[in-house]
Structure 1
Amino acid sequence: MAELDEQSNRLTLKLVYYGPALSGKTTNLGALHELSSPELKGEMMVLETQKDRTLFFDLFPLGFEAPSGLLIQLKLYTVPGQVQHDSTRKAVLSRADGVAFIADSQHNQSHTNLESFENLAANAGRVGIDFDRLPLVVQFNKRDLKNILSEQEIRERWEPSPWWPVVFASALQNQGVLETLELLLQRVYPGLDEEYKLAAAHQLSREAFVAGLLGK
């Protein structure tokens, strides 16, 4: 799904933050933008839709440079959470290299989380993404609120297999935000390495890939 521009020697990756309305997708991207050094980020852009919005910005707009000289750029997007914007969700999800699914930890949002996750799986198929191979991280946000599911309850429901690692977060407090992105980048790397030979041709290990894109 990543795009390689051979003329500029630039590999552009796309990560999408998916989930139900008001789960904290926008807050996650806002926190990441705030936590990133000024020289490592582009301007936050907003596409307004009726009663909802899509946000995106670039990390390393000029490219993080691998030892071989390959430039790697990361684009981060949110999707609108409301059901009526499903066509926009499909458009944003198209050609994604990985997805962070942002769920709401509150008890009364369990059904909404499940509906949105099923929508993600369905839309992935509609835009040509193999959902079983899609690098995916599930973040349960809003851990700072009352009346939330316990970590044990969440793990019993959402970790039946190793395919969907779970991160517990409070994006408003910048907790779990970087951890979610770091884990997603770790899961994205193997597919990129297989296709673009990041280690063999560009001397870029998984550890260096993740650290570079996080500005470490």
Structure 2
Amino acid sequence: MIAYDDIERKMVLKLVYYGPAMSGKTTNLLQLHEQLQRNGRGDLMVLDTRDDRTIFFDLLPFFLVAPSGLKIKVKVYTVPGQVKHDATRKAVLQRADGVAFIADSQNRERANNVNSFSNLEDNLALVGLDIDTLPLVVQYNKRDLPDIVSEEEIHNSWQSTGIPVFCASALKGWGVVETFRQLVALTYARLDSRFRLAERHGLDRDAFVAGLVRPRGPRPVSVDGEGRYE
């Protein structure tokens, strides 16, 4: 549900990180915010809820400007993972232009992953978004921990869906930018089909992705000073 103003030639996109509690959504955004070039993102904003929190930042403090003059801004959000904050999750999902689902790789979290993805499907339908057409990527986080689901099982589970799946350790700082880059690329494809970004605005996919995803190298951060995931 892209926010587009043809008169002001401005477009604002919203990308959302979704998943079960403590799967590493917040850690992903903290790492992403840290790993992107400083002149390519704004400050983190934290919206506290009881026992959980939602964070977001403007990927670009100003705009990515296409050759035609079209200005594009991207906002990146997380949702609270706990079930009791489902109303907040729905609110954050509204008008989302793309979603990254962050699954927990630990074997003990299998059921939570399934329930959370089912909740994502339900909430997308409730806010009027079609999961079959919405840009969507899946990340299996916490690959640095013991007793995790095998990559072969992950591949077998998701291959038939056609959804891109990434393995990552957000705490260690790898797989974070790759996940985000693919989400941005998928979002471009949807934008181009609707707004003809390449034809009308001279902005092809490579330039769009390169303009939004400008890493400065992995700089792992600790969320709470003790190396734990959020």
TM-score range relative to shorter protein? over 0.9
The answer to whether 1:197 aligns with 2:196 is yes
% identical aligned pairs: 56
Report the CA distance between 1:8 and its aligned residue: 3.5
1:8 & 1:169 partners in 2: Cα distance? 39
1:61 & 1:124 partners in 2: Cα distance? 28
Q: How does 1:1-216 map to 2 (within 5 A)?
A: 1-162=1-162, 164-215=163-214
CA offsets, 1:173-211, max 9 Å, x none? 110000001111111112111221101110111111111
Letter matched to residue 165 of structure 1: P
1:30 & 1:208 partners in 2: Cα distance? 25
User: What TM-score, normalized by structure 1, do the two folds share?
Assistant: 0.97
2:202 & 2:81 partners in 1: Cα distance? 39
Report the CA distance between 1:7 and its aligned residue: 4.4
Question: 3-state DSSP class of the match of 1:125?
Answer: helix
Query: What is the CA RMSD across the aligned residues, in angstroms?
Result: 1.1
Report the CA distance between 1:2 and its aligned residue: 1.0
Aligned length: 215
Letter matched to residue 71 of structure 1: K
2:159 & 2:75 partners in 1: Cα distance? 28
Question: 3-state DSSP class of the match of 1:172?
Answer: coil
Report the CA distance between 1:92 and its aligned residue: 0.2
2:152 & 2:214 partners in 1: Cα distance? 33
Letter matched to residue 208 of structure 2: F
Report the CA distance between 1:29 and its aligned residue: 0.3
1:31 & 1:215 partners in 2: Cα distance? 13
| Structure 1: runs of 5 or more not aligned | none
